[in-house]
Structure 1
Amino acid sequence: MLMNAPAILNEILQALKDLYEKGEEHIIYINKLPLTEEDRIAILDTLGEGQVRIRLDSKTQPAEWRETGINGVWIGVFFDRDNKPILETIEITIFPRLASSQEEDIEESIKLLEERLKVLFQREP
């Protein structure tokens, strides 16, 4: 029985319009909503399957995003250390924010690359 799928799909549609018109991103925490199995199937079937999959391999909190057949709509799943899903999202965005490089990671990468270049140039005659 469909209970909340139509409302969620309409929320996604409005969020997609807001992303296009205003550049506003939106996240729906789907595992926090009372969804029936039929709701989940209807949402996934309506959104379809896209071509892009992103995997964040982290020992503490691995995550995966996959773009749906609707550009700009991503399904995100965050896992615990035992690889069990702990958070599921639908993100309406150009690219999932948590999958992109974080500022502190870039800062650390600058230092790492500088060190590697020092070692590389010290070897050259």
Structure 2
Amino acid sequence: MSASFMFPPVGFGPGSQIGQEDEELNYLAMPSGVHVYEPHVPEIDDPAIMVATLAFLDDLQQQAQAWRAGDACLLPWHNLSPAVTAAVHDALGEGEVSARLEDAAGLVEVQETVFAGIWALRAYSGSQRQDVREQVEVSAFPRALLARAFPPRPARPNIAAGVADGIVNAPAILTELFDRSENWQPQHHPHVVNLSLLPHTPEDMALLEATLGRGRLTILSRGYGNCRIEATATPHVWRVRYYNSMDTLILDTIEVSAVPEVACAAAEDIADSAIRLREICAVLREESTSPQEKQA
């Protein structure tokens, strides 16, 4: 016998979320204080430092303006004087993406500037890492890091040998990832395995991490929360984890790609960076002009 409702069930319908007329809905607070770009012009009193700083930034602006997809334009700056280096650092600032690579050849630290697609690289080499080289690169993502992110391709491991109690989906995931890795081509679209939606056990995760291994490159992209990207020891396979502003893991994925897109600058971003650099150079050029030259 079916029941017929003469009135809507309690808790449904318009207005049912409010118990009393004077009560108000409480919403989760949305992020505020969004960071937006603001031009920053370094204060330079020494004319010689101004000339050298302006020359470097002009060169960088031209590199950014001429950049095309797939390019990697390098501009060394370890030969600049400390004062000029400080002024350039001040003008470029720090953006949201940083990276660290460490292998037998040494350590490389990378910080994206406030100009998307313009990266400050510092490479350490030597037994005591006393040799330091600095340069700026204009690219979607620093090419040197990608060349060293993964160790030489190992033979495919025997996945079945790692199967034990509690393991459910790891063997199928690993087979899929190794197939994608071995057949990867630059023109392929990223292939993503969403671990947040896929049923798995702690034993699955342990087998995945042990079999894929750890690579040499770690990338951190900061926004409202953090995105942590780690190269595995399997070529073109990345562990990509997203955290909210409370540092809670909200999305856990494994991606097969050249480099996860969240870490890269788009062509439009680099074109915009070239325009912003030109504006800063124009201000510096105006400040370096003497009153007599302005009147002339």
**Aligned counterparts of 1:22 and 1:70: Cα–Cα separation in 2:** 19
Q: Distance in 2 between matches of 1:13 and 1:83?
A: 30
TM-score by length of 2: 0.40
In structure 2, the residue matched to 1:110 is: 274
Question: Quick one: percent identity of the two aligned structures?
Answer: 29
Aligned to 1:91: 255
The structure in which a higher percent of residues are helix is 1
Q: Which whole-Å CA distance do the structure 2 matches of 1:114 and 1:28 have between them?
A: 42
Distance 2:226 2:217 in 1: 17
Q: How much does 1:30 deviate?
A: 1.1
With 43-52 and 18-27 compared, the bigger mean Cα shift is at: 18-27
1:111, CA displacement in angstroms? 3.0
Query: TM-score, normalised on structure 1?
Result: 0.89
**Contact 2:186–2:258 (8 Å) recurs in 1:** no
In 2, the alpha carbon distance for the partners of 1:53 and 1:36 equals 25
Match of 1:27 in 2: 192
Change (3 A) 1:108 1:43: same
Quickly say closer, same or farther: Cα 1:73–1:122, change in 2 above 3 A: same
The corresponding residue for 1:3 is 168
1:76 CA displacement: 0.3
Alpha-carbon distance in 1 for matches of 2:210, 2:277: 44
CA-CA distance at 1:70 after TM superposition: 1.1
Structural mapping, 1:1-125, within 5 Å: 1-20=166-185, 23-58=188-223, 60-125=224-289
**Aligned equivalents of 1:82, 1:103: Cα separation in 2:** 31
Select between 94-103 and 42-51 the one with higher mean Cα deviation.
94-103
Is the partner of 1:23 in helix, strand or coil? coil
Does the Cα contact within 8 Å between 2:225 and 2:246 map onto a contact in 1? no
* Greater RCO structure (CA 8 Å; 6+ sep): 1
SS in structure 2 of the partner of residue 9 of structure 1 = helix
Would you say how many aligned residue pairs link Structure 1 and Structure 2? 124
Q: Is the 8 A contact 1:72 1:92 kept in 2?
A: yes
Give the deviation of 1:103 after TM superposition.
4.0
d(CA) in 2 for partners of 1:94, 1:22: 10
Q: CA RMSD in A?
A: 1.8
The one-letter code matched in structure 2 to 1:15 is R
Cα distance in structure 1, aligned partners of 2:186 and 2:280: 44
Partners of 2:271 and 2:186 lie apart in 1 by 33
Deviation at 1:94, TM superposition (A): 1.2
Q: Which has the larger radius of gyration?
A: 2
Paired residue secondary structure (2:247) = coil
| Residue identity opposite 2:191 in structure 1 | H
**CA drift at 1:116:** 0.9
Alpha-carbon distance in structure 2 between the residues aligned to 1:22 and 1:102? 17
Residues 15 and 25 in structure 1, CA contact (< 8 A), matched pair in contact too: no
Letter in 1 for 2:212: L
